Amino acid sequence: MPQIPSTTKGMQTRAHLLSSARAVFGRDGYVGTTMSGVATEAGMSLGGLYRYFADKEDLFAALVADTHDELFRASGTTAHRLEEDPYQALLDANTGYLTHYYDNRDIMRTLVEAASVEARFRDIWWQMRSRHVTRFATVLKMKFGMDEVDGLPVTRVAEAVACMVEQSAYVWYAQDSLQEDPIPVDQAAQVVTRVWHASFFGADRGSSV
């Protein structure tokens, strides 16, 4: 099993391989990518690549690991507090998520593909979305005492709203080659925040709800 290198040169080579891998996965997709394609892109021998990564799965898992944590952080750091100004706090969170998603749309598109063919990536995808749902449902319970929305379990409504943000990001950015009319990230954030806010806090988005 390859180890993460400890020398500066080793770390530089690993970073170069990851950046080459990102270009190949983004161009050829998960199923279409081969280890030899990545070695060629990196200008390195196949044996050299295998010294750093055990196989294609290992290589893609390394690419996804950082994105996963960064997306979660990007959507959790808000300038406003949810209990004081829910609309602005949600807009901050969604802007953070969508900006980061946009920057990593090649990896996110490949992750959806990988998740549909490999159980390991399906589990990563599932864990990614479950963290978001649980965090939001917990905040609604703790800060607003919200267990239900109109008689429906708050966790289910949070799941549906998380699906809305996840799939909108996928459609608008991961599949951006299909868009006739691209939507800027700031407008996308307003659209998903409008739906999100109306679902939990009603149509009035003033700062005193």
Report the interface residues with a copy of itself, using CB under 8 A: 29, 31-32, 109, 112-113, 116-117, 122, 126, 129, 149-150, 152, 156-157, 159-161, 163-164, 166-168, 170-172, 175, 178, 183, 187-188, 190-192, 194-195, 198-199, 202-203, 205
Residue whose CB is less far from a copy of itself, 18 or 198: 198
Shortest distance (Å) from residue 2 CB to a copy of itself: 26
In the block, residue with structure tokens 């998740």: 115
Comparing CB distances to a copy of itself, the nearer of 12 and 147 is 147
Nearer to a copy of itself, 42 or 158 (CB): 158
SS3 call for 149: strand
| CB closer to a copy of itself out of 23 and 164 | 164
Closest to a copy of itself by CB, 142 vs 171, is: 171
In our burial notation (b when 16+ CB lie closer than 10 A, e otherwise), range 119-142 reads: eebeebbeebeebbbebbbebbee
Provide the minimum distance between the beta carbon of 37 and a copy of itself in the complex, in angstroms, as a whole number.
16
CA distance 44 to 17: 9
Compute the distance between CA of residue 30 and CA of residue 147 in angstroms, rounded to an integer.
40
**Residue in the block written with tokens 């983004």:** 26
Q: Name the DSSP class of 185.
A: H
Q: Under a CB-based contact definition with an 8 Å cutoff, are residues 100 and 76 in contact?
A: no
What is the nearest approach in angstroms of a copy of itself to the Cβ of residue 97? 14
Quote the least distance from Cβ 79 to a copy of itself, whole Å. Answer: 21
